[in-house]
Amino acid sequence: MKKFTLIDRLRIPTYDKLTHVQTADLYFNAKKCKRCGICVRVCPGGCIVTDKVTKNDLLQDMKKAVKCGMPHVDVLKTGATLCMACFCCGAACPQGAITIKRNFNPKYFYKRLTQTSDMTYPKKY
Amino acid sequence: MENVVLAQSEETNEGNKNSKNETLSPLGKYEEGMPWNPVEKVILERRSTRAFKPEPLPDGMIHRILEAGRFAPSTGNTQPWKFIVVNSPEILTEMEKDAIKMAKFFMFFIDYTRGNILRRLYILSWVKWIIRFMKNELNPVPFALMSQIAQGKAPVFHGAPTLILMVEDKRGAGCPATDIGICGQNMILAAHSMGAGSCWFGTTKLLMYLPKWKKKFGIKYPYRLNDCIGFGWPSPKADGMVPRETQLVQWYEKGMNDAPRIKKQGE
């Protein structure tokens, strides 16, 4: 288990730096993807976008999703993404085309102390 | 590298899709490695739904969801809650509009991730002190959401046709906020077991900075509004199991002087 040092605790958190936030990685399988736009629509913060549409467009009209291209994760100016590894997109995807590789793992002030980076499905004990 | 990713994706998605002939175990029984029972299934498959059909749930169903909330446990049976159901599309659009307005107002002053480098550095110089004191509200996740809302990339209430505002009575025994959480989770599980979708919206707090909405919903002492839950028919259906990070759990099994055994939960 990790622990906080005094320096960690006194450091004032800013999240402008990419090194402080390790965001999750999503992989979109281009062969399986049918470009239906469901993942863009269910994404909590509008983090998944395609080249032409964002979440707000699809909430108004789902038909815009047709032929709008592959979804991808929106990258901010600083290089960080907004993905927080909820994987709602993967649960909703009818084709099973999305895979998650890395968990959301903030550092320093908000770092997680009792969590490992393996991601597993619910286990029947 | 890409081949490896593709191969793994096929493997992991097996567990993701729910088979149609899935057998469920009966309630009130435990054997090792038995299949999920219906309650566990609802709990594990519940995902926050953020895309709804425009038509609201039938009134009977909302009553039934509220019934699950009414029978939630609370400290000393104080029941420190008050429910407000908002079904009217007119009020919902007005709430959405005002919440966006408030998000834009706050983000104009404190958004340190936007604009040119001079603006970013200047804002960061004092916003980091605010973050120190409001570390929960300005956690990077809600902060990024508010920033997205202000830019018009994400909606506030995600088009939910029914909102249940969970108003907290500050005079409740113990920690009334915990009781509100328990009550809300009860309602959400009831809703998902009936096929509806739901999502907590903490962004209702933005509206509480406007006296207009405080007056409208009657939020004055002893009441406080922090959270609301949106209900509706999910579109597309978003429920399903997802992988989660494993947790390190301390198990105290031996004497007073022995160190706890650390087990990995979920592996």
What are the pLDDT digits (tens) for B166-211? Answer: 999 999 899 999 999 999 999 999 999 999 999 999 889 999 999 9
Any domain includes A3: no
Please give the Cα distance from A95 to A104 (Å, whole number): 24
Please give the Cα distance from B211 to A23 (Å, whole number): 37
Rg of chain A over CA atoms, in angstroms? Answer: 17
Strand partners, B244: A120
ipTM of this predicted complex? Answer: 0.85
Judged by a CB distance cut-off of 8 A, whether residue A38 touches chain B is yes
Any domain includes A41: yes
Contact between A118 and B267 using a beta-carbon 8 Å cutoff: yes
pTM of the model: 0.86
Quick one: average pLDDT of A52-69? 74
What are the pLDDT digits (tens) for B144-173? Answer: 889 889 988 888 988 899 999 999 999 989
Domains annotated for chain B, with CATH where assigned, are 49-238 (3.40.109.10)
- Chain A residues inside the 8 Å CB shell of B13: 90, 96, 99
What are the pLDDT digits (tens) for B9-51? Answer: 444 444 444 555 678 888 888 988 899 999 999 999 999 988 8
Any domain includes A4: no
Judged by a CB distance cut-off of 8 A, whether residue B247 touches chain A is yes
Res. B54: pLDDT tops 80: yes
Any domain includes A64: yes
Domain count, chain A: 1
> So what's the pLDDT on residue B10?
44
Cα B226 to chain centroid, rounded: 12
Q: Which amino acid is at B202?
A: G
> So what's the pLDDT on residue B191?
94
Q: Which domain holds residue A45?
A: 26-110
Any domain includes A115: no
Any domain includes A5: no
Cα B205 to chain centroid, rounded: 14
Judged by a CB distance cut-off of 8 A, whether residue B17 touches chain A is yes
DSSP for A41-55 reads: HH-TTS-EE-SS--H
Higher pLDDT: B12 or A88? It is A88
For residues B168 and B177, the answer to whether their CB atoms sit within 8 Å is yes
Percent of chain B with pLDDT over 70: 92
